[in-house]
Amino acid sequence: MTRVVSWLLSALAIGAFGFLLCVFLFQSGPVWQSEGTRYITGVSWFYRQHVFGALSLIYGSLAVTAVALLLAGPLGLGAAVFLSEYLPQKARLALKIPLELLAGIPSVVFGLLGIAVLRDWVYRTFAKFDPLSGDTLLTAGILLAVMILPTMVSLCDDALRSVSGAQRRAARALGLTRAETIWNIVLPQASRGMASAFLLSVGRALGETVAVFLVIGRQDNNLPHPWYSPAPLLEAGQTLTTKLGGAETNIAFGDPLHWAAIMGLGVLLLVLTAGATCLGTLGRRRHA
């Protein structure tokens, strides 16, 4: 009975996702017919002229996610190793429980903290580069790093704890130090689970809206020239989620092509977040 219910609920979830994707694809049909691949590769978005290029929005989403992972990744991995390998069990639980509670804080709270603290700090710290304000892609990336850090620490800790304690004891009996045991035995075996933690964190970062909306500045058409230049990180930008969460979604409703372009952004966001989340979940199951 439990297996039947599980299959039914899984089928319901998959069906809901498929229905949502079909609705978005159908609604976005006109923009795909009008723009084709230029909708993804186009660098300009001017809705009043019916010019819809989503590349700058995709870049913004990937840029803030990359900044978040670069900051939260090493910190999350280090904290997870400390929790799993160095702390006694009671101390580990005493720290992990409030850490997991942090993951449940509403994103708007993080956004308000970003406005009150982080935005001014970024502006003062990088004043020599003459940013127009503290509302930048970098600010959004740092804020996302704070938001995904509890999730990353918790998942990486679970991956490390899944490695058998017998292997740790065997390694120590062979003369390996604790650090050598962690580096040569624990981390290689937990690598797939930790990779899944990173992918699940990517999904969380890509789908975040409110906190990023409050600190990113929401400037369209911010692309680096050349593509590897870090200069746009200190400028206001836009992501897929902040575009969808802004006033333009309401403006677009009366214009079929504009509305289709907005729905197309929903398709892109759905594919990116679902892909990262599914890969992370699949990796965790294989690791388990």
In a domain, 25, yes or no: no
In a domain, 146, yes or no: yes
Residue 287 pLDDT more than 70?
no
146 CB contacts (<8 Å, ≥6 apart)? Answer: 72, 110
pLDDT at residue 144, rounded to an integer: 94
In a domain, 13, yes or no: no
Residue 51 pLDDT more than 80?
yes
Percent of the chain with pLDDT over 90: 39
pLDDT at residue 122, rounded to an integer: 94
**Could you list the residue range(s) of the whole structural domain that residue 79 is in?**
52-287
CB atoms within 10 A of CB 109: 12
In a domain, 278, yes or no: yes
In a domain, 241, yes or no: yes
pLDDT at residue 92, rounded to an integer: 84
In a domain, 189, yes or no: yes
In a domain, 18, yes or no: no
Contact yes or no for 266/244 (Cβ under 8 A) = yes
110 pLDDT tier (thresholds 50, 70, 90): very high
CA neighbor of 269 nearest in space, from 58, 33, 18:
58
pLDDT digits (tens, 9 = 90+) for 115-168: 999 999 999 999 998 888 889 999 999 999 999 999 899 889 888 988 888 888
pLDDT at residue 262, rounded to an integer: 94
CA distance 14 to 19: 9
CA distance 152 to 163: 17
Contact yes or no for 195/236 (Cβ under 8 A) = no
pLDDT at residue 93, rounded to an integer: 82
CA distance 150 to 159: 14
Look at the chain and report how many structural domains it folds into. 1
pLDDT at residue 283, rounded to an integer: 57
pLDDT digits (tens, 9 = 90+) for 170-208: 888 888 888 888 888 888 888 888 888 888 888 888 888
Query: Which pTM value belongs to this model?
Result: 0.88
* Helix residue ranges, H only, 162-255: 165-173, 178-181, 187-207, 210-215, 240-244, 248-252
What's 266's domain CATH number?
A: 1.10.3720.10
Residue 281 pLDDT more than 70?
no
* Mean model confidence pLDDT for the chain: 88
pLDDT at residue 170, rounded to an integer: 87
Residue 285 pLDDT more than 70?
no
In a domain, 173, yes or no: yes
